Chain A
Amino acid sequence: MKRKKRYIVLSTLLIGILCTTTAYTNKYQNVVKKLALIEKIIEEEYIGEINAYKLQEGIYKGFINGLGDTYGTYYTNAEYEALGEDISGTYKGIGIRMYLDQEENKIIIKEVFDNTPAQKAGLIPDDQIIKFAGKSVSGSDYNYVVDCVANSKDKALNLTVYRPSEQKMYPFQITKENIVYPSVYFNMVDEDIAKIQITRFEETTYDQFKEALMQSEAENAKGIILDLRNNPGGLLRIARDIANALLPEGVIVSTRDKAGKVVEYESDPIYIDTPMVVLINGNSASASEVVAGALKDYQRAKLIGETSFGKGIVQTIIPLSDGSAIKLTTSQYFTPNGTCIQDIGIEPDVPVALPIEKMLRYNSLEAEEDDQLQKAIEVLKESSPVVEDEESKG
């Protein structure tokens, strides 16, 4: 009797195990079957090269693409590794910033950073890249050249530049190194007004921003123009740190995830109260909008320029144990006033557009030609925006 009982218990247990494993696999049963069918067709008929690794990774990429999340991505091991470099603010490179002169169809070196291989080799701003890796290049090859400088496996880059000031050509061989690229640029637009431009929110951006604030203090700036135009965003955390440095106590931004969990990010009471205006345009997105939105809601600064991009959602990168990773949209964020700006953007207090002709050569625009910058100077000089807003309220 005892044995029979034991036998029944044991078999129930086993059937139980069997059933659960079946249920677990059933969800994917059809998928596996269909993939097997497709695989059979490939093996029998496909005439091109087959890379088994890419096929497999394709499945995961495709699955994430199937979400329809514009910002969702699957990263293979190699891609995830490269991404780490991308958001850290340090890159392998030679230390130059290039831009495409669309009118002249030329690749021009905009900037040569201090203590980099490019500077040591003797490249200077305004040099035109006319030959790269043994090939003649023009503006049409801009993406190719940028990609090679950033991603080519070669340690040493061969390039020839034309220097307009001397009307001479110079060949260079420059070895790549790890370089911290600036994402913050500081300059005094006149005696009293400093301009701080943030081009991206990266790991090193906050430190660079603090340095710029100290510089503006050292220069005795009475007003600051924060230029967030064409800043696509980046790390939310860094945007919060920057907003914190500029805002009194209060909520900077709050996020809400799928489960409805709300997280509020508070600013501490310490802040810099120098009068300020912010430049934004249609390419100011995400983290840029967090900063601009908070400064606007607290009436800490007037926004000048064009309505921002309107990205009010936050992505998270989830690393997987095998070295790959996925990026998903995981929460919405809200400005201090509680608005979600997704697909809406932030409207400027003072709208100023830039004509298309000037947009095309944005990177080589002189300060005097920059209508938005000129407006920013004007508004800043009129008076302190904070005081003015409080008066109009009263």
Chain B
Amino acid sequence: MKQKLIGIASVLIIIALGLSLLNSAASFNGYFSLNKLKLLNECVDEAYLYETNDVALEQGIYKGFLEGLENEDTYYVTAEEMKTLNDEIVEELSVTSFDNCDYIKLNSVKEGTSETLKEALNDKKSLILDIRNLDVDNMEEIQKICNLFLDETALFRLETRDTGMHYYTSTDGSVTMPIVLIFNQYTKSGAEALALALNERSLSVGSETHGDPYIKRMISFDDGSGMSIAYGKLYDQYGRELTAIAPDVEVSLTREELLELLEQDEITLTEDPYVKLALDSVPPFS
């Protein structure tokens, strides 16, 4: 009888231990210690002068976890931030006509942008293509834009965990007008690949690009929050990782010029030093 009792007891103990282990470990891979988090929480409860906000603390955990990757394209997005992201609607592009050229500002690139751009092009004039502050992750669409301007050539490569290395090439393009490209330090990832591809057939003005080889995508979670993940890496046509691209002609402003610009609330297109330089650099249409 005594043995039987011990037997039952040990079975129960094993079940209890097993259950509690399951509880604490979940399916997590050990990047993190629950005990330490608990300790931090205790310290905060005891010593921190102000009230704490459990939601903010939890968000902090996810934000910090992803910041640990030290990759600017991988970050946590709170449910609130997700909402404002979804609300953002930007006009893909805007066209301004000058005497000797058309100026097109590309604001965003999504599926179909290449079509919109194609319709906006006027092959009787030179083109200024402004890709400042442009951050693109849709490489298929970048390829289609390249198709408009370039003959058959190797463009760039994209590596993902899912499909390995993918080689992008252009088919024969029909548009032959001279191009002046404007980019700056906020021209980022996919937009930099575009700059790189168009560089040989255009004159570039502005300032060095951001130098970000990663492309990202958004993932939504059930609770409304989400994350951005760098899932692809860009290489040039020779297989070198994408780095910052320097323009042919650099826009350099003196401190006084910069201050003067900063003082104005809104500057018109022709006051914009980047556009001014581009307009001065437009080659004659032939």
Contact = CB atoms under 8 A, between A and B. Distances in A.
Interface of A: 3, 6-7, 10-11, 14-15, 17-18, 21-22, 25-26, 28-39, 41-42, 44-48, 50-52, 54-69, 72, 74, 257-258, 313, 316, 318, 320, 322, 326, 328-332
15 contacts: A14-B16, A21-B19, A31-B61, A35-B61, A38-B62, A46-B69, A46-B229, A47-B160, A47-B232, A47-B233, A59-B64, A62-B60, A64-B60, A257-B47, A258-B46
Contact of A46 (B5, B56, B62, B161): B161
Given A28-B38, A41-B227, A58 B68 contact: yes
Interface string B90-132: 0000000000000000000000000000000000000000000
Nearest to A7: B5
B13 A14 contact: yes
Interface stretch (B20-28, B149-157, B169-177, B196-204): B20-28
Contacts of B38: 28
B255 to A, nearest CB: 11
A326 B40 contact: yes
A135 B263 CA distance: 36
A341 B203 CA distance: 58
B24 A63 contact: no
Q: Give the 6 A-B CB pairs with smallest separation, nearest first.
A: A62-B64, A66-B60, A58-B68, A21-B20, A55-B68, A66-B57
Interface stretch (B29-37, B183-191, B244-252, B264-272): B29-37
B133 interface: no
Given A42-B229, A50-B69, A65-B64, A329 B48 contact: yes
Given A39-B29, A56-B68, A66 B36 contact: no
**Chain A contact residues: helix, strand, loop or mixed:** helix
Contacts of A318: 43, 47
Given A36-B27, A56-B31, A62-B67, A330 B60 contact: no
Contacts, number: 210
B159 interface: yes
A286 to B, nearest CB: 15
A257 B20 CA distance: 37
Contacts of B12: 10-11, 14
A350 B218 CA distance: 57
Interface of B: 1, 5, 8-9, 12-13, 16, 19-20, 23-24, 26-29, 31-34, 36-41, 43-44, 46-50, 52-53, 56-71, 74, 76, 159-162, 214, 219, 221, 227, 229-233
Contacts of A15: 16
B37 A63 contact: yes
Contact of A328 (B24, B44, B162, B219): B44
A59 B71 contact: no
Contacts of B162: 45
B40 A63 contact: yes
B207 to A, nearest CB: 16
A326 B232 CA distance: 36
A55 B65 contact: yes
Given A3-B5, A39-B31, A330-B48, A22 B65 contact: no
B211 to A, nearest CB: 14
A59 B68 contact: yes
Contact of B20 (A3, A18, A33): A18
A155 to B, nearest CB: 28
A258 to B, nearest CB: 5
Contacts of A332: 49
A58 B67 CA distance: 6
Given A38-B227, A41-B229, A17 B31 contact: no
B195 to A, nearest CB: 21
Contact of B47 (A32, A68, A328): A328
Nearest to B158: A47
Contacts of B214: 47-48
A51 B68 contact: yes
Contact of A36 (B13, B28, B37, B160): B28
Given A258-B47, A322-B36, A329-B50, 7 more contacts: A18-B19, A18-B20, A22-B23, A62-B60, A62-B62, A62-B65, A258-B46
B256 to A, nearest CB: 14
A64 B68 contact: no
Contacts of B61: 31, 35, 59, 62-63, 66
Nearest to A54: B68
Nearest to A324: B36
Given A62-B60, A330-B48, A39 B20 contact: no
A37 B64 contact: no
Contacts of A34: 62, 221
A375 B68 CA distance: 51
A242 B52 CA distance: 35
A351 B176 CA distance: 68
A394 B34 CA distance: 65
Contacts of B232: 47
B16 A36 contact: no
A357 to B, nearest CB: 14
B27 A48 contact: no
A376 to B, nearest CB: 34
A52 B33 CA distance: 13
Contacts of B39: 320
A320 B44 CA distance: 12
A60 B28 contact: no
A30 B26 CA distance: 10
A3 B9 CA distance: 12
A313 B5 CA distance: 60
A15 B46 CA distance: 30
